[in-house]
Amino acid sequence: MSEILRIENVSLDVEKKKLFDFSITINSGDFFLINGKNGVGKSLLLKLFFLKILPSNGDIYLYGKKINENKKINILEYRKKVGVILQNDYLIPFFTVYQNIEIASEIQSKKEHFKKRIDEILDWLDLTKISGEFVNKLSNGEKQRVVIARALINNPQIIIADQPENYLDESTKKKFFFLLESLNKLGTTIIMTSNCHNMLSVNYKNLNLGKIND
């Protein structure tokens, strides 16, 4: 298993408060589940994993190379390999379901990949019938499925998800977790926060934020 991200003695200074202070190595094929109570900084930690924030202290190594804010090209390349599932208000409301998924391929220059995958993804997430609908007319559950579809369309090497099960019904949740486990078995790295860890049958690593912060 090759190293993707190595975090050494990293901490964040948030409003004069020191958060985290931990070290971790993420390899390809790892499955991390981040635990912790509300407000401990789970979403913040996820931002650190997809490099939307940089640590106040400590070092981050991307594929073995130390990064800082001047190495944006490397960070952009990394971001293109990551599928991020955040809350559904990050969708473009006046675009259709299809267009919202397509934009990810457009940005990550994986148009050929898109053609091969789009029908499969739409079908798998029950989005085929509503693929031409504008996102602002969808229910929260449907929007969440679009967010998942957008994150998965480019077959990412790493999936980072912030409570992806939100708004999903039970059967979709089961399907989604099954998909995550399958992708993980194929080598995809998964880092997520979730309240449905009981649905996971794969061996995952726990990252308990309560302990880290203590």
Partner 1 sequence: MINYQEVLKKILLKDEEKFFHGLSFVVISLIALHVVLYFNFYKFSSNWINLESQKTTFILTNNNDEKEIPLSISENIKDFLINNSLIDSYKIIDSSAIKSTLGLDKEDEISGLDLPMVFQVISSEEKTIDSIYKNIIDISENRFVEKYSHEDELFEISIIVNRIKIIIFIMFLVVFTLFSFLVMNIVKAALVTNFKLLEMLQIMGASSIELAKNISQSLIRKILPGSLLSLIFVFFISVVLINLFGANFEFFDSSLSTELIISSLFILVIFLILFLLSLLFFLTIYLFNFFENRFFDKL
66 binds partner 1 (CB under 8 A): no
- Identified binder of partner 1 from the candidate list 65, 106, 137, 195, rule CB under 8 A: 106
How many C-alpha atoms does 16 have within 13 Å on its Cβ side?
Answer: 0
Q: Closer to partner 1 by CB, 106 or 169: give it.
A: 106
Minimum distance, C-beta of residue 118 to partner 1, in the bound complex (Å): 11
Q: How far apart are CA 134 and CA 138, in angstroms?
A: 7
Q: Which residue lies nearer to partner 1 by CB, 91 or 121? A: 91
List all residues 6 or more positions away from 27 whose beta carbon is below 8 Å from its beta carbon. Answer: 1, 2, 3, 4, 189
Query: For partner 1, which stretch binds (CB under 8 A), given 31-39, 59-67, 77-85, 178-186?
Result: 77-85
Q: Is 10 left (phi over 0), alpha (psi -120 to 50) or beta?
A: beta
Closest CA to 104 of 87, 89, 84, 88: 84
Q: Which is nearer to partner 1, 148 or 200 (CB)?
A: 148
Figure out which of the listed residues 21, 102, 126, 181 binds partner 1, where binding follows CB under 8 A: 102
DSSP assignment of 65-110 equals EEE-TT-HHHHHHHHHTEEEE--GGGS-TTSBHHHHHHHHHHHTT-
Write out the binding residues for partner 1, residues 24-53 only, by CB under 8 A.
Answer: 47, 50-53
**Footprint of partner 1 on 172-201 (CB under 8 A):** none
35 contact partners, CB below 8 Å, separation of at least 6: 193, 197, 206, 207, 208, 209, 210
Q: Which is nearer to partner 1, 79 or 174 (CB)?
A: 79
Kindly tell me which residue out of 1, 13, 25, 170 binds partner 1, with binding defined by CB under 8 A: 13
Q: Which is nearer to partner 1, 24 or 67 (CB)?
A: 67
Please enumerate in sequence order all residues whose Cβ is within 8 A of that of 71, keeping only pairs 6 or more positions apart, or say none.
65
The binding site for partner 1 (CB under 8 A) comprises 12-14, 47, 50-54, 56, 69, 72, 75-77, 79-80, 84, 86, 89-92, 94-95, 99, 102-104, 106-108, 111
